[in-house]
Amino acid sequence: MPKFAANLSFLFADRPFPERFAHAAAWGFAGVEYLFPYDWPAHQIAACLQAAGVEQVLFNLPPGNWAAGDRGLACLPGRRGEFIEGVEQAMDYAVQLDCPRVHCMAGLRPAGVAETELAATYIANVQFAADRFAEIGATVMLEPINSRIDMPGYWLDDVEKAFCLLAAVDRSNVKLQLDLYHAQIIQGDLARTLEANIDRIGHIQIADNPGRHEPGTGEIHYPFLFSLLDRLGYAGWVGCEYKPLTTTESGLDWLPR
């Protein structure tokens, strides 16, 4: 059975953020992830991790101004300096939290910019991030996110496009982050995607569809996919990035213990 990490931006969200680590551990999670750590001092989060006895699995690079609508910077020409500052900030957190992987959000497609320029900007930025994070032994993750429901206008909204970009970046410490919820909306065919690309996938996330709720509430047959990951020898984490249908605790019957 895969290793499951609680996404603390989604799970146990009725509690203050520092308390969620211990609750995740109490419910059987050995690792945690979340969108962004930057609203809390790294040493405070490190103390929460240590007290709960859980691993920091993943977090995102700074996305720009999230409140103003930014959803990442990597594909955006003209914001290279801000992207580099974000890489340095994320590296500092990754070192203090002993986090081995970070997700680099692509950003929303800006009007009037050619696809070739967006792709070139993205590739150059990811290469920069990969080279910096290689210095601390960390991996940079690329994630296709559906633009039809959850993130309209997101530039990296296709699984095959993500694999092409992965090849173009050409760094050994860059992997695909495959959120099976997003992949189901984008193209489906989840089992074959996993089978054909498992060596290029460095992190997996889950939610059911429709609704982005816990496994067992929708159309995705997660028991089959978990068994498939075992057969494929996937040794990475599976991040639980879903919106509980009611409360986190009442929706954890699916979690193997």
Cβ atoms of 61 and 36 within 8 Å: the answer is no
In the chain, the amino acid numbered 210 is P
Q: Considering the chain, what percentage of its residues have pLDDT values greater than 90?
A: 99
**pLDDT at residue 1, as a whole number:** 87
b/e 192-223 (16+ beta carbons within 10 angstroms → b): ebbeebbeebbbbbbbbbeebbbbebbebebe
Q: What is the 3-state secondary structure (H, E, C) of the chain?
A: CCEEEEECCCCCCCCCHHHHHHHHHHCCCCEEECCCCCCCCHHHHHHHHHHHCCEEEEEECCCCCCCCCCCECCCCCCCHHHHHHHHHHHHHHHHHHCCCEEECCECECCCCCCHHHHHHHHHHHHHHHHHHHHCCCCEEEECCCCCCCCCCCECCCCHHHHHHHHHHHCCCCEEEEEEHHHHHHHCCCHHHHHHHHHHHEEEEEECCCCCCCCCCCCCCCHHHHHHHHHHHCCCCEEEECCCCCCCCHHHCCCCCC
**pLDDT at residue 246, as a whole number:** 96
pLDDT tens-digit profile of 228-254? Answer: 999 999 999 999 999 999 999 999 999
- Residues with a known catalytic role: 143, 241
In the chain, the amino acid numbered 183 is A
**pLDDT at residue 67, as a whole number:** 95
pLDDT at 209 over 90: yes
With bands split at pLDDT 50, 70 and 90, how would you rate the model's confidence at 187?
very high
The phi-psi region of residue 125 (left if phi > 0; otherwise alpha if psi is between -120 and 50; otherwise beta) is: alpha
pLDDT tens-digit profile of 81-129? Answer: 999 999 999 999 999 999 999 999 999 999 999 999 999 999 999 999 9
- Mean residue pLDDT of the chain comes to 97
- Which of residues 256 and 112 earns the better pLDDT score? 112
Cβ atoms of 232 and 194 within 8 Å: the answer is yes
Q: What is the mean pLDDT of residues 194-200?
A: 98
| Tokens 């989604």 found at | 10
pLDDT at 145 over 80: yes
CA angle, 67 then 129 then 140, to 5° = 85
What is the token pair recorded at 33?
């992830």
**pLDDT at residue 96, as a whole number:** 98
pLDDT tens-digit profile of 22-56? Answer: 999 999 999 999 999 999 999 999 999 999 999 99
What is the token pair recorded at 119?
């792709």
d(CA 180, CA 213) in angstroms, rounded, equals 12
**pLDDT at residue 257, as a whole number:** 74
Residue 216 CB-half CA count within 13 A: 12
Cβ atoms of 206 and 172 within 8 Å: the answer is no
Domains in the chain (CATH in brackets) are: 3-251 (3.20.20.150)
Q: What is the mean pLDDT of residues 186-200?
A: 97
pLDDT tens-digit profile of 131-144? Answer: 999 999 999 999 99
User: Is-above-0.75 flag for pTM?
Assistant: yes
With bands split at pLDDT 50, 70 and 90, how would you rate the model's confidence at 156?
very high
**pLDDT at residue 189, as a whole number:** 97
